Structure 1
Amino acid sequence: MTTKARRTAEAAEQGVAQAPASETPVTKEKLFLLAGLAAVGSLATNIILPAFPMIGGELAISAPQLGLLLSSFFIAFALGQLVVGPLSDRFGRKPLVLGGLAVFAAGSVVCATADALPLLILGRVIQALGACAASVLSRAIARDLFDGEALGRALALTMIVGAAAPGFSPLLGSVLAGLFGWRITFVVVALFAVALAALYLARIGETHHADRRTALAPSAVASAYGRLAAEPRFLLPALAVSLVIGGLYSFFAAAPGVLMNQLGLTPLQLGLSFAGTVLIVFAAGFLAPRFAARWGQRPVGMAGLVVALAGGVAMFGFAALPTFTTYTMAIALYLFGMGLINPLGTAIALHPFGRQAGLASALLGFLQMGCAAVGAYLASALPFAPAISLAIVLTTGSTLALLAFLPVALRQTRAEPVAAPASTGA
Structure 2
Amino acid sequence: MTTALANDATQALKPLTGRIVALLAGLAAIGMLSTNIILPAFPMIGEDLGVSARELGLTLSSFFITFALGQLIVGPLADRYGRQKLVLGGLLVFVVGTVIGGLATHLDVLIAGRVVQALGVCAASVLSRAIARDLFEGETLARALSLTMIATAAAPGFSPLAGSLLSATLGWRAIFILVGLAAVALALFYIRGLGETHPADRRAPLSVMSVVRAYRRLALDKRFILPAVSMSLLISGLFASFAAAPAILMKGIGLTSLQTGLYFAATVFVVFAAGMAAPRLAHRHGPRIITILGIACAMAGGGLLLAGPADPSLGRYALSMVTFLWGMGLANPLGTAITMGPFGKEAGMASALLGFISMGAAALTTWLASVLPFAPVTALGGIQAVTCLIALVLFVLRGSLAK
TM-score by length of 2: 0.94
1:124 correspondence with 2:81:
no
CA–CA distance in structure 2, aligned partners of residues 112 and 287 of structure 1: 40
- Residues 67 and 380 in structure 1, CA contact (< 8 A), matched pair in contact too: no
Deviation string, structure 1 residues 48-102 (Cα, Å, up to 9, x no partner):
2322333344445444434333332221111100000000000000010001111
Q: CA deviation at 1:362?
A: 0.5
- Distance in 2, Cα, partners of 1:175 & 1:222: 45
Could you tell me the percent identity over the aligned residues? 56
Match of 2:307 among 312, 317, 322: 317
2:373 to 373, 383, 404: 383
1:204-259 Cα distance to aligned partner (Å, 9 max, x none): 01000101001001000000000100000001111111111112122222222322
Question: What is the CA deviation profile of residues 295-317 of structure 1, one whole-angstrom value per residue up to 9, with x for unaligned ones?
Answer: 11111111111111111111223
Work out the CA distance in 2 between the residues paired with 1:115 and 1:245: 35
Kindly indicate whether residue 69 of structure 2 is the aligned counterpart of residue 45 of structure 1.
Answer: no
> Distance in 2 between the 1:32 and 1:98 partners?
16
Structure 1 residues 4-403: aligned runs within 5 Å = 21-318=11-308, 320-403=310-393
State the distance in 1 between where 2:312 and 2:327 align. 21
Deviation at 1:165, TM superposition (A): 2.8
| Aligned residue type for 2:183 | A
Contact 2:223–2:401 (CA<8 Å) still a contact in 1?
A: no
Structure 1: runs of 5+ lacking an equivalent:
1-7, 15-19, 416-426
- Which amino acid is 2:166 matched to? L
Distance in 2 (alpha carbons) for counterparts of 1:211 and 1:395: 45
Indicate the SS of the match to 2:342. helix
Cα pair 1:46 1:252 within 8 Å, conserved? no
CA contact (8 A) 2:5 2:338 kept: no
| Alignment size in residue pairs | 401
When structure 1 is superposed on structure 2, of 333-342 and 62-71 the one drifting more is 62-71
- CA offset at residue 409 of structure 1? 3.3
Equivalent position SS for 2:341:
helix
From the superposition, tell whether residues 22 and 388 of structure 1 become closer, same or farther in structure 2 (CA, over 3 Å): same
TM-score after normalising by structure 1: 0.89
Partner AA of 1:408 in structure 2: R
CA contact (8 A) 2:149 2:275 kept: yes
Partner of 1:418: none
In the alignment, residue 400 of structure 1 is paired with which amino acid?
A: I
The 1-side partners of 2:149 and 2:372 are apart by 30
Q: Give the whole-Å Cα distance in 1 for the aligned partners of 2:167 and 2:119.
A: 25
Cα gap change, 1:111 to 1:137, in 2 (>3 Å): same
Go from structure 1 to structure 2 and tell me whether the alpha carbon gap of 1:293 and 1:395 turns closer, same or farther (over 3 Å shift).
same
Code of the aligned partner of 1:38: A
Q: CA deviation at 1:376?
A: 1.7
Deviations 1:147-172 (CA, angstroms, capped at 9, x unpaired) = 11111111112223443333222221
**Amino acid in structure 1 at the alignment position of 2:249:** L
Structure 2 CA distance, aligned partners of 1:66 and 1:210?
44
Residues 397-406 or 156-165, more deviating: 156-165
Do the aligned partners of 1:31 and 1:161 also contact (CA within 8 Å) in 2? no
Q: CA deviation at 1:126?
A: 1.5
Q: Secondary structure at the match of 1:157?
A: helix
User: 1:106 deviation in Å?
Assistant: 1.6
Q: Any conservation in 1 of the 2:12–2:141 contact (CA below 8 Å)?
A: no
CA deviations over 1:323-346 (Å, ceiling 9, x no partner): 222221111111111111110111
Measured after TM superposition, the shift of residue 11 of structure 1 is 5.0
Greater shift in the superposed pair: 63-72 or 329-338: 63-72
Residue 355 of structure 1 aligns to a residue whose secondary structure is coil
Asked if 2 retains the 8 angstrom alpha-carbon contact of 1:101 and 1:194, the reply is yes
Tell me the distance in 2 between the aligned counterparts of 1:406 and 1:143: 23
One-letter amino acid of the counterpart of residue 310, structure 2: A
The amino acid that maps onto 1:178 is: A
- Stretch deviating more after TM superposition (52-61 or 208-217): 52-61
Structure 2 vs 1, CA of residues 105 and 13 (structure 1 numbering), >3 Å: closer, same or farther?
closer
Question: Could you tell me how far 1:45 is from its partner in structure 2?
Answer: 1.9
Check conservation: 1:302, 1:409, Cα contact below 8 A. no
